[in-house]
């Protein structure tokens, strides 16, 4: 089969690799029908050192079960399924508390050992704990939105949960990428009264407004903080969702949050420690977040997608075939595209 391999920063190729086969009785083989490129894939695209043998890429996909190991019960051949970006057994103490990303017997797609989502098929370990059946056909018009359950919509929701968004919250979302946009959807869904998006790209801002953003702040640094303070009655935001991962973004989060407020970190940290301020301690600010246990949120979010109440699939503004994945990386990295879907 064909699959995407990254060899170094900027060096992404689609190449022939061995077809996946059942290894454990908990495995399933999934033939992929939709996948996508993640904002987090852009970090290695910018930074990865040359790696002999490369690294298989992709962690967001929908597909059809082709074969299952002896002990798999929850899915069967022919089922259309969505996979979260971490696979997990669904039964360990972390899974039971809803933290599937820390599963004692789980892991992540791709790398050197396992298939990635940006390929024609994957071997899925822990299939019973990982895969969730979709109650629609593989060409349903809801495919883009259902695909976001694998990562970005669950991640945006996780940020809103970690930032303790609730009825009436005043919220700041830092970053206008696909995760930031999904955080806007999630926050509105949870009842936020004011949703301030910090971003500066016209197309993304338009989508954020369509999703429920009430205010846009395009200034950065101190000017951005000043503007948010003005918009929040001088006190700052109850909740901040940080969707970038840079030190500057975290410093902004730390300066726009109000006393007693919470910051939900989603961006993969490219900084040491947590760059909060001394005032954040005296203000009793909470910092939470991390990789979303997307698996935990699928059942909660899917009904809203099926009913059309949320449309996170609108973050996809480009659809490509597998052979065009290298150009898809380039387009996202150049901000030509918000998020790229791969259709098989």
For residues 260 and 293, what is the distance between their CA atoms, to the nearest angstrom? 25
The nearer residue to a copy of itself, 184 or 287, going by C-beta atoms, is 287
Indicate the residue among 98 and 303 with the shorter CB distance to a copy of itself.
98
Rounded alpha-carbon distances, angstroms, from residue 15 to 180, 224, 248: 32, 44, 37
CB of 179 to a copy of itself, least distance (A): 15
DSSP calls for 318-343: EEE-GGGHHHHHHHHHTTS-SEEEEE
Q: Which is nearer to a copy of itself, 129 or 269 (CB)?
A: 269
SS3 annotation, 124-148? ECCHHHHCEECCCCCCCCCHHHHHH
Listed in sequence order, the residues at least 6 apart from 29 whose beta carbon sits closer than 8 Å to its beta carbon are 20, 21, 22, 65, 66, 67, 68, 121, 122, 123, 124
Beta carbon nearer to a copy of itself, 157 or 265: 265
Phi and psi (nearest 5°) for 254?
A: -70, -25
Min. distance of Cβ 32 from a copy of itself in angstroms? 26
- CB atoms under 10 Å from CB of 74, counted, come to 16
Query: Please, what is the minimum distance in Å from the beta carbon of residue 282 to a copy of itself?
Result: 6
User: The tokens of 15 are what?
Assistant: 């190449």
* Cα distance between the two ends of the chain: 12
User: In terms of CB distance, is 15 or 108 closer to a copy of itself?
Assistant: 108
User: CB-wise, 282 or 308, nearer to a copy of itself?
Assistant: 282
Task: Find the shortest distance in angstroms from Cβ 12 to a copy of itself.
Answer: 24
* Shortest Å distance, C-beta 290 to a copy of itself: 4
Nearest to a copy of itself of 202, 259 (CB atom): 259
Q: Please report where in the chains the tokens 């899974």 appear, as a residue.
A: 95
Query: In whole angstroms, how far apart are CA 285 and each of 208, 224, 280?
Result: 26, 19, 5
CB of 273 vs a copy of itself, minimal distance in Å = 4
CB of 275 to a copy of itself, least distance (A): 5
**What is the binding site for a copy of itself (CB under 8 A)?**
94, 97, 99, 101-102, 162, 259-260, 265, 268-269, 272-276, 278, 280-291, 293
CA gap 213, 193 in Å, rounded? 10
**Coil, strand or helix at 133:** strand
């Amino acid at each position: 089969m064909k699959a995407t391999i990254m060899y170094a920063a900027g060096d992404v190729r689609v190449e022939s690799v061995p077809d996946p086969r059942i290894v454990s009785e908990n495995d399933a083989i999934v033939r992929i029908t939709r996948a996508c490129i993640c904002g987090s894939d852009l970090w290695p695209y910018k930074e990865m050192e040359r790696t002999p043998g490369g690294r298989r890429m992709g962690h967001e996909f929908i597909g059809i079960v082709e074969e299952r190991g002896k002990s798999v019960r929850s899915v069967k051949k022919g089922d259309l399924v969505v996979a979260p970006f971490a696979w997990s057994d669904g039964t360990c103490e972390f899974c039971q508390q809803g933290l599937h990303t820390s599963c004692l017997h789980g892991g992540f797609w791709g790398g050197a050992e396992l298939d990635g989502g940006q390929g024609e098929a994957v071997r899925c370990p822990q299939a019973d704990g990982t895969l969730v059946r979709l109650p629609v056909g593989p060409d349903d018009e809801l495919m883009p939105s259902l695909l976001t359950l694998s990562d970005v919509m669950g991640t945006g929701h996780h940020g809103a949960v970690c930032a303790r968004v609730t009825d009436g919250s005043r919220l700041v979302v830092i970053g206008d990428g696909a995760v930031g946009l999904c955080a806007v959807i999630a926050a509105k869904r949870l009842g936020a009264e004011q949703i301030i998006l910090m971003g500066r790209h016209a197309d993304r801002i338009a989508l954020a407004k369509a999703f429920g953003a009430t205010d846009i702040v395009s200034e950065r640094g101190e000017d951005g903080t000043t503007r948010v303070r003005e918009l929040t009655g001088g006190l700052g935001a109850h909740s901040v969702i940080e969707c970038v991962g840079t030190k500057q973004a975290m410093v902004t989060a730390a300066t726009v949050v109000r006393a007693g407020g919470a910051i939900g970190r989603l961006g993969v940290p490219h900084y040491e420690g947590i760059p909060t301020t001394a005032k954040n301690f005296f203000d009793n600010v909470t910092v939470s977040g991390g990789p979303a246990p997307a698996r935990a949120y699928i059942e909660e979010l899917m009904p809203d997608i099926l009913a059309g109440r949320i449309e996170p699939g609108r973050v996809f503004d480009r659809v490509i075939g597998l052979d065009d994945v290298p150009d898809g990386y380039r387009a996202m990295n150049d901000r030509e595209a918000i998020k790229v879907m791969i259709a098989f």
